[in-house]
Amino acid sequence: MSKTYEVKGVTVFKVPSLNAGLTYARDPGEEASQTYKAGALLAIDGSSKELKETSASATGMIVGVAAKDATGTTGAAVPYMEANEETLFAMTLRNGSAAIALAASHVKVKYGVIKSGTDWVVDISNTTANQTKVVVVEPIDDIGDTNARVAVRFLSDKQQNTPASA
């Protein structure tokens, strides 16, 4: 029997080893006046080079996923899980802001992401090439479930793996 789940934020699904993934950006650190929550998608600000929450329509790179809420303090250390080839993240599947049932046809497809409330979700309505950020690797919840969780990997051309040098 199909289930309907609450929308949840981004979490780590699988890392390559116990010592992999969690990173702290101390220099340059957090962008001024940030209010993001744990699970936010982080990018590098083009001028200050500090970390900030990205926007859904942004075409730039993703550094990773915030491991804790923003401090609101400019230059504060930012703990995050790096977006890389090996780390998989769990995200909720949505159709824009609407609920959708997970189908087998959603797996192995590239999608954009949107912010739904304070949570980042996979948006199956956005397959615009320059806005896609993730590929659905495998279902976590059952096919047919609504607001299902799926394992995603950030696309190689959307990964910013070296924040301090950007």
| Calpha distance 79→69 (Å, rounded) | 9
> Residue 101: inside a domain, yes or no?
yes
> Residue 48: inside a domain, yes or no?
no
Contact indicator for 39, 11 with CB cutoff of 8 Å? yes
166 residues of the chain, pLDDT tens digit each: 899 999 999 999 988 776 666 777 667 799 999 999 999 999 998 888 899 999 877 778 999 999 999 999 999 999 999 999 899 999 999 999 999 999 999 999 999 999 988 899 999 999 988 889 999 999 999 999 999 999 999 999 999 875 444 4
> Residue 21: inside a domain, yes or no?
no
- Residue 46: the pLDDT is 86
Token pair for residue 9? Answer: 């934020």
> Residue 33: inside a domain, yes or no?
no
**Structural domains of the chain, count:** 1
> Residue 58: inside a domain, yes or no?
no
> Residue 36: inside a domain, yes or no?
no
> Residue 52: inside a domain, yes or no?
no
> Residue 49: inside a domain, yes or no?
no
- Residue 20: the pLDDT is 65
- Residue 21: the pLDDT is 65
Instruction: Give the C-alpha distances (Å, rounded to integers) separating 89 from 10, 16, 72, 136.
Output: 7, 12, 25, 10
Cα torsion angle, 75, 58, 36, 120, sign: negative
- Residue 19: the pLDDT is 65
pTM for the structure as a whole: 0.89
- Residue 104: the pLDDT is 97
* Full domain range(s) for residue 137: 85-158
